[in-house]
Amino acid sequence: MGTPLSSEPLLNKPQMKHFYLTIKIVTTEKFDKHQGFDLVNFDHQFLFYDVYTFKILKAETYSVFKENISRTFNVPSKQVRFWVFVYRQNKTIRPDHPIPESYMNISMEGIRDEIVPLQNELKLYMEVADKPINDETWFPLIEENKNIIVFLKYFDPDTQTLEGLGHLYVQEFDKVGDYINVLCKRKNLPPDTPLKIYEEIKPNMIEEMNPNFTIKQSEIQNGDIICFQKASNMKIREHIKSIRIFEIPKFYELLSTFTVKVVTVEKFKKYQGFDLANFENTPLSDIYLYKILMNTTYGVFKENVSQYFNIPSEQVRFWILASRQNGTVRPDVPILESYSNTSNIFLIIIFFH
């Protein structure tokens, strides 16, 4: 989490909260570490929720905001450009267009109201330029879709991981295949390594891209995500033998999320009712809810939940809850440490410390 730009104590007073705006910022570093759909997960219930969050005055101008954020990240403000995330019709959320430099004197609330009026906060991608294009320009022009920003992910079947590789500008009349060596260089692969390239459209739609199609024919737009992997048939038998997924669409099926319900001793002691909690109609005050990826291992889950509660993981043990014949729900068996590298072994668990 980031720290608030404004540390005024009045922020804690209910009558003053309407003066402030929440800004969530995604950096390239956050995207590169993200395992899942989109660039990051903005859902607070997601176990690996990880964005920078700031509270600023709604009246603060874009000029002041940009200067403050640049200083926070120790980057010259002229090398920073912010893109606004918007929700698409297919329920994904992507950076859509940059905040124009002509908006320097407009308040952040005004920018929110103009660009994403239905959102109560601003979600931004922080683009940082390493070097200027010329003496005056640091960023490619976006007008008329001549330069389109896309985000790259690389799938490694050997490690079963999806790795973010930052963003890339493509041009609408270039062919998809024209970027193969660019992608190889981004992942430090030998030039002309055969690749399979996909577009991450939405969770249940990962489509292979035709290298002979242009970017325009492929209907690529700002904020789209392109995934790629080495196109090698030599290791398929090895992957099958090791029960490894070796194609991007199949791997994406594991990136679906499900909810884990956690009861702590503290919550149980305060609970008024049958069992340890009411799982059928759960008040948020009775349990903790976490959304995790289907391929999250028990070891990773345990470590992250332990960190959330600031408790050493070796002092934590989880129990699987089971429904009994009499209709009650009680702790049944503990999850063994031997499951540390196993995924998808529990649905509802209880946490004791």
Residue 273 maps to which CATH number? Answer: 3.10.20.90
Which residues are within 8 A (CB) of 62 and not within 5 positions of it... i.e. 6 or more apart? 99, 103, 104, 105, 106, 107, 108, 111
Residue 179 in 3-state DSSP?
Answer: helix
Residue 223 in tokens: 């904020």
pLDDT at 2: 41
Which backbone phi and psi does 62 adopt, to 5 degrees? Answer: -60, -35
Q: Final residue of a domain: which of 110, 139, 168?
A: 139
Structure tokens at 239: 């992957």
Q: Are residues 280 and 231 in the same domain?
A: no
Of 150, 154, 157, 158, whose CA–CA distance to 227 is shortest? 154
Q: Within this chain, do residues 48 and 125 fall inside the same structural domain, yes or no? A: yes
Q: Determine the pLDDT at residue 279.
A: 67
Strand pairing class (348-352; 257-263): parallel
The answer to whether residue 4 sits within a structural domain is no
249 shares its domain with 263: no
End-to-end CA distance of the chain: 26
Amino acid at 177: G
Q: How many domains does the chain have?
A: 3
Q: Do residues 217 and 291 share a domain?
A: no
Q: Please, are residues 295 and 255 in contact by the beta-carbon 8 Å criterion?
A: yes
> Does residue 268 fall inside a structural domain?
yes
| Integer Cα distance of 224 and 86 in angstroms | 12
- Alpha helix positions (H), 163-264: 180-186, 236-241, 248-253
Say what percent of the chain tops pLDDT 90. Answer: 49
215-258: pLDDT as tens digits: 999 999 999 999 999 987 767 777 666 667 878 998 888 777 66
Q: Is residue 131 part of a domain?
A: yes
In a domain? residue 133: yes
- Domain shared by 43 and 59, yes or no: yes
- pLDDT band of residue 145 (cuts 50, 70, 90) is low
Decide if 1 is inside a domain: no
Q: How far apart are CA 41 and CA 100, in angstroms?
A: 25
Structural domain span for residue 105 = 9-139
Structural element, H or E, at residue 158: none
Residue 10 has pLDDT above 60, yes or no: no
62, 120: one domain: yes
Residue 212 lies in a domain: yes
- Over the stretch 72-101, which tens digit does the pLDDT of each residue have? 999 999 999 999 999 999 999 999 999 999
Question: Residue 273 pLDDT > 60, yes or no?
Answer: yes
Q: Are residues 125 and 183 in the same domain?
A: no
Give domain status of residue 341, yes or no: yes
Long-range contacts of 201-210, Cβ-Cβ distance < 8 Å, separation of 24 or more = 201/90, 201/92, 202/37, 202/90, 202/91, 202/92, 203/37, 203/252, 203/255, 203/256, 205/90, 206/248, 206/249, 206/252, 208/249, 209/176, 210/176
At position 293, the amino acid (one-letter code) is L
- Same structural domain for residues 16 and 106? yes
Q: In whole numbers, what is the pLDDT of the chain averaged over residues?
A: 84
Q: DSSP E strands: which ranges in the chain?
A: 20-26, 52-57, 80-87, 93-98, 121-128, 148-156, 161-170, 195-202, 205-208, 225-230, 257-263, 288-293, 317-323, 329-334, 348-352
Q: Identify the residue with better confidence: 108 or 288.
A: 108
For the sheet with 348-352, list strands across it: 288-293, 257-263, 348-352, 317-323, 329-334
Residue after which a domain boundary falls, among 234, 253, 272: 253
Residue 111: is its pLDDT beyond 90?
yes
Q: The pTM is what?
A: 0.76
Q: What is the pLDDT of residues 294-324, one digit of tens each?
A: 767 788 888 888 888 888 888 888 887 777 8
Query: In sequence order, what are the residues at sequence separation of 6 or more whose Cβ sits closer than 8 angstroms to the Cβ of residue 151?
Result: 31, 39, 164, 166, 167, 168, 223, 224, 225, 226
The tokens describing 99, both together, are 């905040």
